Structure 1
Amino acid sequence: MEMPVEIVNHAPAFVMVAETAADEAAREALLDRAMGPKRRKKSSEKLRRGRRPSEGLAFVARDALGAVVGTVRLWDVRLGEGGPAALLLGPLAVDPALKNAGIGSALMRHAVAEATRLGHGAILLVGDAPYYGRFGFSAAKTGALAMPGPYERHRLLALELTEGALDGAQGTLRAAGRKLKALPLTFAA
């Protein structure tokens, strides 16, 4: 006699989607929880301030209820004065209550794949080599590059998406790309 088999279709625990303007408050609250109040003082933040993420390279992870549980953004930079274009990744953050659920890894893989698909040559970041090394990042080609402001040199990592994209790259990273639109001033009558 055959027993009936119940097939249960489990929805994914999270999905990755393009970030929208409506995600801003949830993203900022997540970053505050995951990284603390000093996150705005990091050298990477100097390159992001007043800029928009690179076109098509800002993502959030949403849980089954639609809440933002992870975020990653990539930013346009120049490698030194008049140097080649590259991307700066960060911040990558996951809701602290969901650490080790694979959300950060999935966001990283998605961001790298999209940057590659869009034709970018390299991604840089400031982070832990043991974590980011599994995605192909290393300090092998960052020796002649620097971040503006204080940072730990061994944490400046890069991943070439196009072979040779970082050959000869030198100098301090500079902000590039789209600027934030200024908000119109309103005056009381």
Structure 2
Amino acid sequence: MLTLHTETAEDWWEVEALYDLCFAPGREALSSYRLRDGVPPIADLCLVSRDEYNAVAGAIRHWPVRVGGDPAVLLGPIAVHPTHQGEGLGAFLIQQAMDRARALGHPRMLLVGDAPYYGRFGFQRLQDVEMPPPTNPARVLGAALCDGAWDGVTGQVRQP
């Protein structure tokens, strides 16, 4: 039995420990972290799943960014504890966050990731959107949370 709630200050250390467990050392050196420096996450889109022992099973965070002059939501990081991988928890967290972002009126979401995995959620390669280097352009993906949200949106991704 898993529960889902919006991340609180009390969750922070456990969520950070999960990210440290699931990602390589130095994860904060990635270019996407430069977009997060000094910017608070979108609290309503930071979700934590806990298991029957009240341990963090998965977590997802989102950050406000701008693409050119347009607002967007940057998905990530997302992690699922190794003991819960393969259960569909990552997909559940993504879908819940996308539904919440849509309900809150966010028009578009982007991430850096694998198109075959994220494509099932509606993410597609963004041809004219540039993440800070050294990001592989083929991994810059976006999903429209409302019709036409990415139409004409181009430029560099930067802090809001």
TM range (shorter): over 0.9
The equivalent position to 1:146 in structure 2, one of 130, 134, 158, is 130
Larger proportion of strand: 2
- CA offsets, 1:30-83, max 9 Å, x none? 000001213111111111121111141110111012111111011111112xx1
Q: Which residue of 2 aligns with 1:66?
A: 54
SS across alignment from 1:75: strand
Letter in 2 for 1:75: W
> What is the number of equivalent residue pairs in this alignment?
160
Q: Which residue of 1 aligns with 2:16?
A: 28
Pairwise CA RMSD of aligned residues? 1.0
Q: Which residue of 2 aligns with 1:41?
A: 29
Runs of 4+ in 1 over 3 A off after TM superposition: none
The equivalent position to 2:45 in structure 1, one of 30, 51, 57, is 57
SS across alignment from 2:101: helix
TM-score, normalised to structure 2, is 0.96
Larger radius of gyration between Structure 1 and Structure 2:
1
Does 1:118 find its partner at 2:104?
A: yes
SS across alignment from 1:69: strand
In 2: Cα distance, 1:67 partner to 1:167 partner: 41
**Identity level (%):** 44
Does 1:105 find its partner at 2:100?
A: no
In 1: Cα distance, 2:9 partner to 2:145 partner: 28
Q: CA deviation at 1:148?
A: 1.1
Q: Which residue of 2 aligns with 1:156?
A: 140
Unaligned stretches of 5+ residues in structure 2: none
